[in-house]
């Protein structure tokens, strides 16, 4: 029977049994320090950009912060799903900004009007706009957010590798660290328990290779294992270092042998070194060709 990894550590502070907490609760628990830091920054009136890879728990973080600041602030959480107007409408609704004209025959406000209304409202203070997946937001909305920053608007942007320009450059940024192996193991264990699965530590250790420090992947690999489709090693987390350049550099260093051969007048060493150098060049070509990576899923 599986043992909860991390049960020995001091991470678990809550008295609730492990299985009773779902993945999101655990993510909140493990990101407590980050949350505290973000909240204290926001309380000081400082807008913030939080970076983290897909699945690192940014959205969960946003929701938690909205919940905690809900009593003090009027909080709007929005993400962009293809329509700037819908995003603006969602923000307006969260902030309690009217979305219709105030005459006898109310008409919905246009996107431009919404921008102005929301900006006005944000300037009243004690308003927080949380922009989830801010890297997806179109330029029009990003420029508008810059406008909000110039006023008294308080923004929290959550983004995964956003471009280094406009609003993203202007905010102090904070990067979410990958979770520790212990934390990931706890999330995997909780997920497996929630699914009613018994997985032994060997399998956990094996599955965890595909997770890195990414809590969403931690849950996904458990589900893949459950479905029996986890055979193919997925390599979706970002904590990889491509060692090819080091290897090539190491191989090229064999060329030194050739020059030692020349220097010492040792013909044999010269030949061996020359052959090795050309082999290294061949391997280099091979590795460079192999390294053209497809970003598409599937074969």
Partner 1 sequence: MMSVTHAALAIASTAIGIGTADPYVLATAAIASQLPDIDTTESFSGRLIWPLTNFLEQRFPHRSLTHSFMATGLVAVLAAPLLWWRWQFFVAVVVGYFIGWFADAFTKSGVEAFYPNPARLVIPGNPRARLDTRSPAEYWVLATAVFLTVVSINLTSAGGLSETVARTFFNDTGTAADLFHKHGASQRVFVTVEGIHTYTRQSVSGTYEILEASTSDVIAENVTTSQIYKIGKGADAQIRPNRVKVNLGDPVKVSAQMFNLQEVGVMEWLVTVPQNAYISGSLVIDDLDEAPPPSSLETYPTIRLSTGRIELQNAHPQEILALLREFWILQGSVLVKVKA
Q: How far apart are CA 137 and CA 80, in angstroms?
A: 6
Q: Does 209 bind partner 1 (CB under 8 A)?
A: yes
Q: Does 3 bind partner 1 (CB under 8 A)?
A: yes
Instruction: Name every residue whose Cβ is closer than 8 Å to that of residue 272 and which is 6 or more positions away in sequence.
Output: 257, 261
Which one among 43, 169, 205, 279 touches partner 1, defined by CB under 8 A? Answer: 205
Nearer to partner 1, 71 or 295 (CB): 295
Q: Does 156 bind partner 1 (CB under 8 A)?
A: no
Nearer to partner 1, 44 or 299 (CB): 299
Count Cα neighbours of 235 within 13 Å in the Cβ-side half-sphere: 9
Q: Does 83 bind partner 1 (CB under 8 A)?
A: no
The two three-digit tokens of residue 59, written as one number: 């959205």
Q: Site size for partner 1, by CB under 8 A? A: 39
Q: Does 213 bind partner 1 (CB under 8 A)?
A: yes
Phi, psi of 172 (to 5 degrees): -60, 135
Q: Does 185 bind partner 1 (CB under 8 A)?
A: yes
Shortest Å distance, C-beta 234 to partner 1: 8
Which one among 11, 247, 254, 281 touches partner 1, defined by CB under 8 A? Answer: 247
Distance from the Cα of residue 248 to its chain's centroid: 31
Closest CA to 155 of 270, 32, 45, 59: 45
Which one among 161, 267, 279, 282 touches partner 1, defined by CB under 8 A? Answer: 267
Which one among 253, 271, 278, 279 touches partner 1, defined by CB under 8 A? Answer: 271
Which one among 40, 72, 86, 291 touches partner 1, defined by CB under 8 A? Answer: 291
Which one among 149, 252, 266, 281 touches partner 1, defined by CB under 8 A? Answer: 266
Instruction: Name every residue whose Cβ is closer than 8 Å to that of residue 73 and which is 6 or more positions away in sequence.
Output: 126, 127, 128, 154
Q: Does 264 bind partner 1 (CB under 8 A)?
A: no
Q: Does 182 bind partner 1 (CB under 8 A)?
A: yes
Nearer to partner 1, 66 or 281 (CB): 281
CA distances to 257, 263, 270, 280 from 266, in Å: 10, 8, 6, 21
Kindly list the strands in the beta sheet with 74-79, ordered across the sheet, starting from the edge strand earlier in the chain: 74-79, 127-132, 154-159, 48-51, 173-175
Supply the DSSP symbol for 69: H
Residues engaged in binding partner 1 (CB under 8 A) = 3, 5, 178, 181-182, 184-185, 201-202, 204-206, 208-213, 233, 235, 239-244, 247, 266-269, 271-272, 287, 290-294
């Amino acid at each position: 029977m599986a043992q909860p990894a991390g049960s020995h550590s001091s991470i678990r502070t809550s008295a609730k049994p492990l299985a009773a907490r779902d993945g999101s609760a655990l993510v909140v628990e493990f990101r407590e320090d980050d949350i505290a830091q973000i909240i204290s920054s926001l309380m000081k009136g400082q807008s913030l950009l939080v970076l983290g890879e897909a699945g690192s728990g940014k959205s969960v973080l946003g929701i938690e912060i909205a919940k905690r600041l809900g009593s003090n602030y009027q909080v709007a959480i929005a993400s962009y799903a293809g329509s700037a107007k819908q995003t603006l409408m969602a923000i307006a609704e969260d902030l309690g900004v009217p979305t219709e004209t105030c005459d006898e025959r109310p008409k919905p406000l246009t996107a431009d009007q919404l921008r102005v209304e929301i900006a006005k409202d944000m300037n009243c203070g004690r308003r927080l706009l949380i922009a989830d997946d801010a890297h997806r937001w179109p330029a029009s909305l990003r420029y508008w957010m810059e406008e909000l920053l110039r006023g008294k608007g308080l923004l929290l942007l959550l983004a995964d590798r956003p471009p280094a320009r406009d609003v993203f450059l202007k905010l102090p940024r904070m990067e979410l660290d990958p979770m520790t192996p212990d934390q990931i193991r706890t999330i995997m264990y909780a997920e497996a328990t929630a699914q009613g699965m018994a997985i032994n530590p060997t399998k956990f250790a094996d599955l965890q290779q595909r997770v890195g420090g990414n809590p969403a992947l931690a849950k996904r690999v458990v589900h893949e294992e459950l479905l029996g489709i986890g055979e193919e090693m997925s390599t979706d987390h970002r904590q990889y270092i491509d060692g090819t350049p080091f290897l090539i550099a190491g191989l090229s260093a064999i060329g030194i042998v050739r020059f030692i051969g020349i220097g010492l007048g040792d013909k044999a060493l010269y030949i061996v070194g020359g052959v090795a150098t050309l082999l290294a060049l061949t391997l280099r070509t091979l590795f460079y060709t192999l390294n053209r990576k497809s970003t598409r899923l599937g074969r």
